Structure 1
Amino acid sequence: MIPTQDASLSSENVTFSVGMVLRDHTGKFIEGRVGCMPEVGSIFEAEAIGIREALSWIAGKGLTQVSFESDSLLSIRALRGDGGNQLEVGHVIQHCLELLQSNPTFSLDFISRQANKVAHELARCPCLLSCFYVFSSPPESLLETLLYDVSS
Protein backbone atom coordinates (compact mmCIF):
# COMPACT_ATOMS: atom_id res chain seq x y z
CA MET A 1 0.00 0.00 0.00
CA ILE A 2 1.16 3.49 -0.81
CA PRO A 3 -0.32 6.44 1.09
CA THR A 4 0.53 9.97 -0.01
CA GLN A 5 -0.32 13.20 1.73
CA ASP A 6 -0.18 16.91 1.14
CA ALA A 7 -1.16 20.07 2.98
CA SER A 8 -2.66 23.28 1.68
CA LEU A 9 -2.90 26.60 3.53
CA SER A 10 -6.07 28.66 3.07
CA SER A 11 -5.65 31.94 1.23
CA GLU A 12 -6.25 33.82 4.50
CA ASN A 13 -3.85 31.49 6.41
CA VAL A 14 -6.49 30.93 9.10
CA THR A 15 -6.86 27.21 8.37
CA PHE A 16 -5.08 24.49 6.48
CA SER A 17 -6.22 21.26 4.90
CA VAL A 18 -4.58 17.86 4.74
CA GLY A 19 -5.31 15.48 1.88
CA MET A 20 -4.36 11.81 2.14
CA VAL A 21 -4.70 9.10 -0.48
CA LEU A 22 -4.21 5.36 -0.05
CA ARG A 23 -3.43 3.42 -3.23
CA ASP A 24 -2.39 -0.12 -4.00
CA HIS A 25 0.92 -1.00 -5.71
CA THR A 26 -0.67 -0.43 -9.17
CA GLY A 27 -1.81 3.09 -8.28
CA LYS A 28 -5.48 2.17 -7.86
CA PHE A 29 -7.38 4.45 -5.46
CA ILE A 30 -8.33 2.58 -2.27
CA GLU A 31 -9.40 5.40 0.03
CA GLY A 32 -8.95 9.13 0.49
CA ARG A 33 -9.24 11.44 3.44
CA VAL A 34 -9.34 15.22 3.79
CA GLY A 35 -9.44 17.34 6.90
CA CYS A 36 -9.37 21.01 7.77
CA MET A 37 -7.49 22.24 10.82
CA PRO A 38 -6.86 25.55 12.59
CA GLU A 39 -4.09 27.96 11.65
CA VAL A 40 -0.44 26.88 11.78
CA GLY A 41 2.78 28.88 11.80
CA SER A 42 4.13 27.65 8.47
CA ILE A 43 3.64 25.25 5.59
CA PHE A 44 6.42 23.15 7.17
CA GLU A 45 4.25 22.69 10.26
CA ALA A 46 1.18 21.92 8.13
CA GLU A 47 3.10 19.29 6.13
CA ALA A 48 4.50 17.68 9.29
CA ILE A 49 1.00 17.52 10.78
CA GLY A 50 -0.18 15.98 7.49
CA ILE A 51 2.45 13.24 7.77
CA ARG A 52 1.44 12.62 11.39
CA GLU A 53 -2.23 12.36 10.39
CA ALA A 54 -1.42 9.95 7.54
CA LEU A 55 0.72 7.76 9.80
CA SER A 56 -2.02 7.67 12.44
CA TRP A 57 -4.70 6.94 9.83
CA ILE A 58 -2.84 3.97 8.32
CA ALA A 59 -1.62 2.65 11.70
CA GLY A 60 -5.25 2.61 12.82
CA LYS A 61 -6.13 0.41 9.85
CA GLY A 62 -3.60 -2.21 10.95
CA LEU A 63 -1.83 -2.23 7.58
CA THR A 64 1.76 -3.40 7.24
CA GLN A 65 4.44 -3.04 4.54
CA VAL A 66 3.37 0.54 3.85
CA SER A 67 5.52 3.05 1.91
CA PHE A 68 4.43 6.58 2.76
CA GLU A 69 5.23 9.30 0.24
CA SER A 70 5.41 13.04 0.82
CA ASP A 71 6.56 16.02 -1.21
CA SER A 72 7.72 17.84 1.94
CA LEU A 73 11.49 17.53 1.81
CA LEU A 74 11.87 19.52 5.06
CA SER A 75 9.60 17.07 6.90
CA ILE A 76 11.33 14.01 5.46
CA ARG A 77 14.73 15.42 6.42
CA ALA A 78 13.50 16.22 9.93
CA LEU A 79 12.22 12.66 10.34
CA ARG A 80 15.57 11.30 9.18
CA GLY A 81 17.41 13.47 11.69
CA ASP A 82 19.03 15.87 9.24
CA GLY A 83 16.43 18.63 9.27
CA GLY A 84 18.26 21.22 11.33
CA ASN A 85 16.20 23.40 13.67
CA GLN A 86 12.80 21.83 14.30
CA LEU A 87 11.66 24.14 17.07
CA GLU A 88 8.29 24.98 15.48
CA VAL A 89 7.43 21.33 14.72
CA GLY A 90 9.54 19.30 17.14
CA HIS A 91 6.54 17.87 18.98
CA VAL A 92 4.89 16.83 15.70
CA ILE A 93 8.10 15.23 14.39
CA GLN A 94 8.51 13.38 17.70
CA HIS A 95 4.99 11.95 17.41
CA CYS A 96 5.71 10.87 13.80
CA LEU A 97 8.89 9.14 14.94
CA GLU A 98 6.98 7.29 17.66
CA LEU A 99 4.42 6.11 15.09
CA LEU A 100 7.20 4.95 12.76
CA GLN A 101 9.00 3.13 15.58
CA SER A 102 5.84 1.33 16.67
CA ASN A 103 5.18 0.29 13.05
CA PRO A 104 8.58 -1.00 11.85
CA THR A 105 7.24 -2.09 8.42
CA PHE A 106 6.36 1.53 7.56
CA SER A 107 8.77 3.53 5.41
CA LEU A 108 8.70 7.18 4.41
CA ASP A 109 10.04 8.54 1.12
CA PHE A 110 10.26 11.88 -0.62
CA ILE A 111 8.45 12.28 -3.96
CA SER A 112 8.30 15.27 -6.27
CA ARG A 113 5.34 17.64 -6.17
CA GLN A 114 4.39 16.48 -9.68
CA ALA A 115 4.07 12.89 -8.41
CA ASN A 116 1.81 14.00 -5.55
CA LYS A 117 -0.99 15.68 -7.53
CA VAL A 118 -3.84 13.52 -6.24
CA ALA A 119 -3.11 14.24 -2.56
CA HIS A 120 -2.50 17.90 -3.46
CA GLU A 121 -5.89 18.17 -5.17
CA LEU A 122 -7.62 16.35 -2.34
CA ALA A 123 -6.09 18.78 0.18
CA ARG A 124 -7.79 21.60 -1.74
CA CYS A 125 -11.27 20.09 -1.39
CA PRO A 126 -13.51 22.23 0.80
CA CYS A 127 -14.18 20.87 4.26
CA LEU A 128 -15.34 22.02 7.67
CA LEU A 129 -12.88 22.98 10.40
CA SER A 130 -11.71 20.17 12.71
CA CYS A 131 -13.50 17.54 10.66
CA PHE A 132 -12.25 14.69 8.45
CA TYR A 133 -14.05 13.32 5.41
CA VAL A 134 -13.34 9.83 4.12
CA PHE A 135 -13.77 8.90 0.45
CA SER A 136 -14.21 5.23 -0.43
CA SER A 137 -14.21 6.24 -4.09
CA PRO A 138 -12.42 9.23 -5.56
CA PRO A 139 -14.27 12.53 -5.82
CA GLU A 140 -15.22 13.32 -9.41
CA SER A 141 -12.81 16.27 -9.42
CA LEU A 142 -9.89 13.81 -9.00
CA LEU A 143 -10.77 11.32 -11.73
CA GLU A 144 -8.71 12.98 -14.48
CA THR A 145 -5.68 13.36 -12.22
CA LEU A 146 -5.94 9.71 -11.10
CA LEU A 147 -6.18 8.51 -14.71
CA TYR A 148 -3.16 10.60 -15.68
CA ASP A 149 -1.14 9.28 -12.72
CA VAL A 150 -1.88 5.63 -13.50
CA SER A 151 -1.11 6.01 -17.22
CA SER A 152 2.20 7.87 -16.75
Structure 2
Amino acid sequence: MKISAYATIFSGYNASGLALIARDDHGDLIQARTQYLPGMVSSIMAETLAIKEALSCIKSKGWSKVVVESDCLTVIQAIRSKTPMVSPLGRVVQSCRNMLVESNTVSLFFVKRSANMAAHELARLSCSFSDRVFDSISIPFEVQNVLERDLEF
Protein backbone atom coordinates (compact mmCIF):
# COMPACT_ATOMS: atom_id res chain seq x y z
CA MET A 1 0.00 0.00 0.00
CA LYS A 2 1.15 3.51 -0.75
CA ILE A 3 -0.03 6.91 0.44
CA SER A 4 0.92 10.03 -1.50
CA ALA A 5 0.86 13.21 0.57
CA TYR A 6 0.90 16.70 -0.86
CA ALA A 7 0.20 20.26 0.25
CA THR A 8 -0.44 23.49 -1.58
CA ILE A 9 -0.67 27.13 -0.59
CA PHE A 10 -3.62 29.34 -1.55
CA SER A 11 -1.96 32.71 -1.01
CA GLY A 12 -4.99 34.60 -2.36
CA TYR A 13 -7.16 32.98 0.31
CA ASN A 14 -4.55 33.04 3.09
CA ALA A 15 -4.91 29.26 3.40
CA SER A 16 -3.35 25.94 2.52
CA GLY A 17 -4.70 22.60 1.42
CA LEU A 18 -3.60 19.03 2.01
CA ALA A 19 -4.30 15.86 0.04
CA LEU A 20 -3.71 12.19 0.73
CA ILE A 21 -4.20 9.41 -1.79
CA ALA A 22 -4.03 5.81 -0.59
CA ARG A 23 -3.57 3.10 -3.23
CA ASP A 24 -3.23 -0.64 -3.05
CA ASP A 25 -0.30 -2.60 -4.44
CA HIS A 26 -1.91 -2.58 -7.90
CA GLY A 27 -2.24 1.22 -7.89
CA ASP A 28 -6.00 1.21 -7.40
CA LEU A 29 -7.52 3.90 -5.19
CA ILE A 30 -8.43 2.84 -1.67
CA GLN A 31 -9.22 6.27 -0.27
CA ALA A 32 -8.39 9.93 -0.82
CA ARG A 33 -8.73 12.81 1.61
CA THR A 34 -8.54 16.58 1.50
CA GLN A 35 -8.13 19.10 4.24
CA TYR A 36 -8.43 22.87 3.96
CA LEU A 37 -6.46 24.91 6.49
CA PRO A 38 -7.46 28.58 6.81
CA GLY A 39 -4.62 30.85 7.87
CA MET A 40 -1.36 30.96 6.00
CA VAL A 41 1.37 28.51 6.93
CA SER A 42 4.68 28.05 5.18
CA SER A 43 4.92 25.51 2.39
CA ILE A 44 7.31 23.46 4.55
CA MET A 45 4.83 23.41 7.44
CA ALA A 46 1.97 22.48 5.08
CA GLU A 47 3.98 19.59 3.59
CA THR A 48 4.90 18.41 7.09
CA LEU A 49 1.25 18.55 8.14
CA ALA A 50 0.31 16.48 5.07
CA ILE A 51 2.76 13.76 6.09
CA LYS A 52 1.52 13.92 9.68
CA GLU A 53 -2.06 13.47 8.43
CA ALA A 54 -0.97 10.47 6.35
CA LEU A 55 0.70 8.89 9.39
CA SER A 56 -2.36 9.63 11.56
CA CYS A 57 -4.63 8.05 8.94
CA ILE A 58 -2.45 4.92 8.85
CA LYS A 59 -2.56 4.68 12.63
CA SER A 60 -6.34 5.20 12.88
CA LYS A 61 -7.05 2.63 10.14
CA GLY A 62 -4.60 0.11 11.58
CA TRP A 63 -2.86 -0.25 8.22
CA SER A 64 0.56 -1.88 8.06
CA LYS A 65 3.28 -2.21 5.43
CA VAL A 66 2.59 1.26 4.07
CA VAL A 67 4.89 3.51 2.07
CA VAL A 68 4.27 7.24 2.53
CA GLU A 69 5.52 9.37 -0.36
CA SER A 70 6.16 13.10 -0.53
CA ASP A 71 7.87 15.29 -3.08
CA CYS A 72 9.24 17.63 -0.41
CA LEU A 73 12.80 16.47 0.23
CA THR A 74 13.37 19.08 2.95
CA VAL A 75 10.56 17.63 5.07
CA ILE A 76 11.61 14.02 4.46
CA GLN A 77 15.14 14.89 5.58
CA ALA A 78 13.88 16.77 8.66
CA ILE A 79 11.73 13.84 9.76
CA ARG A 80 14.53 11.32 9.19
CA SER A 81 17.04 13.48 11.04
CA LYS A 82 17.69 13.08 14.74
CA THR A 83 18.37 16.79 15.17
CA PRO A 84 16.02 18.42 17.69
CA MET A 85 13.98 21.32 16.33
CA VAL A 86 12.63 23.84 18.84
CA SER A 87 9.86 25.51 16.87
CA PRO A 88 6.24 24.92 15.87
CA LEU A 89 7.53 23.07 12.79
CA GLY A 90 9.80 21.03 15.05
CA ARG A 91 6.82 19.87 17.12
CA VAL A 92 5.05 18.57 13.99
CA VAL A 93 8.27 16.93 12.77
CA GLN A 94 8.71 15.24 16.16
CA SER A 95 5.13 14.00 16.05
CA CYS A 96 5.87 12.42 12.65
CA ARG A 97 9.05 10.85 14.02
CA ASN A 98 7.14 9.40 16.98
CA MET A 99 4.44 7.88 14.76
CA LEU A 100 7.07 6.30 12.51
CA VAL A 101 8.78 4.73 15.53
CA GLU A 102 5.44 3.43 16.87
CA SER A 103 4.64 1.77 13.55
CA ASN A 104 7.75 0.01 12.38
CA THR A 105 6.00 -1.15 9.18
CA VAL A 106 5.63 2.36 7.71
CA SER A 107 8.31 3.80 5.43
CA LEU A 108 8.77 7.38 4.31
CA PHE A 109 10.17 8.13 0.85
CA PHE A 110 10.90 11.12 -1.35
CA VAL A 111 9.46 10.95 -4.88
CA LYS A 112 9.68 13.38 -7.76
CA ARG A 113 6.67 15.61 -8.25
CA SER A 114 5.85 13.76 -11.48
CA ALA A 115 5.21 10.63 -9.38
CA ASN A 116 2.89 12.57 -7.06
CA MET A 117 0.60 14.26 -9.59
CA ALA A 118 -2.70 12.79 -8.38
CA ALA A 119 -2.10 14.10 -4.86
CA HIS A 120 -0.97 17.42 -6.34
CA GLU A 121 -4.19 17.73 -8.35
CA LEU A 122 -6.35 16.78 -5.36
CA ALA A 123 -4.57 19.32 -3.12
CA ARG A 124 -5.32 22.03 -5.70
CA LEU A 125 -9.01 21.09 -5.41
CA SER A 126 -9.02 21.06 -1.60
CA CYS A 127 -10.41 24.61 -1.43
CA SER A 128 -13.48 23.41 -3.37
CA PHE A 129 -13.67 19.98 -1.72
CA SER A 130 -12.57 20.87 1.79
CA ASP A 131 -12.30 18.22 4.47
CA ARG A 132 -13.65 15.38 2.34
CA VAL A 133 -13.03 11.66 2.04
CA PHE A 134 -13.30 10.09 -1.41
CA ASP A 135 -13.48 6.57 -2.77
CA SER A 136 -13.14 5.38 -6.37
CA ILE A 137 -16.74 6.41 -7.11
CA SER A 138 -16.68 9.90 -5.59
CA ILE A 139 -13.14 11.05 -6.50
CA PRO A 140 -13.25 14.25 -8.60
CA PHE A 141 -13.04 13.62 -12.34
CA GLU A 142 -9.79 15.60 -12.71
CA VAL A 143 -8.06 13.38 -10.15
CA GLN A 144 -9.53 10.17 -11.61
CA ASN A 145 -7.92 11.01 -14.95
CA VAL A 146 -4.50 11.45 -13.32
CA LEU A 147 -4.89 8.18 -11.39
CA GLU A 148 -5.74 6.33 -14.60
CA ARG A 149 -2.71 7.82 -16.39
CA ASP A 150 -0.50 6.67 -13.51
CA LEU A 151 -1.68 3.08 -14.04
CA GLU A 152 -0.64 3.21 -17.71
CA PHE A 153 3.05 3.47 -16.78
TM-score by structure 1 length? Answer: 0.91
State, as a whole percentage, how many aligned pairs show the same letter: 35
* Pairing 1:1-152 to 2, within 5 Å after superposition: 1-12=1-12, 14-81=14-81, 87-127=87-127, 132-137=131-136, 138-152=139-153
Structure 1: 4+ residue segments shifted above 4 A: 82-86
Give the root-mean-square deviation of aligned CA atoms.
Answer: 2.1
Query: 2 CA distance for matches of 1:48 and 1:40?
Result: 14
Residue aligned with 2:151, SS? helix
| Cα distance between partner residues in 2 of 1:126 and 1:41 | 15
Structure 1, unpaired ranges of 5+:
none
Per-residue CA deviations over 1:67-101 (Å, capped at 9, x if unaligned) read 11110101000011178977451010011011111
Rounded Cα–Cα distance in structure 2 between residues aligned with 1:41 and 1:127? 15
More relative contact order in 1 or in 2 (CA 8 Å, sep 6+)?
1
CA distance in 1, matches of 2:10, 2:78: 24
State the Cα distance separating 1:29 from its structure 2 match. 0.9
Q: Distance in 1 between matches of 2:86 and 2:70?
A: 18
TM-score normalised by length of structure 2:
0.90
Is 1:74–1:83's contact at 8 Å kept on the other side of the alignment? no
Aligned length, in residue pairs: 151
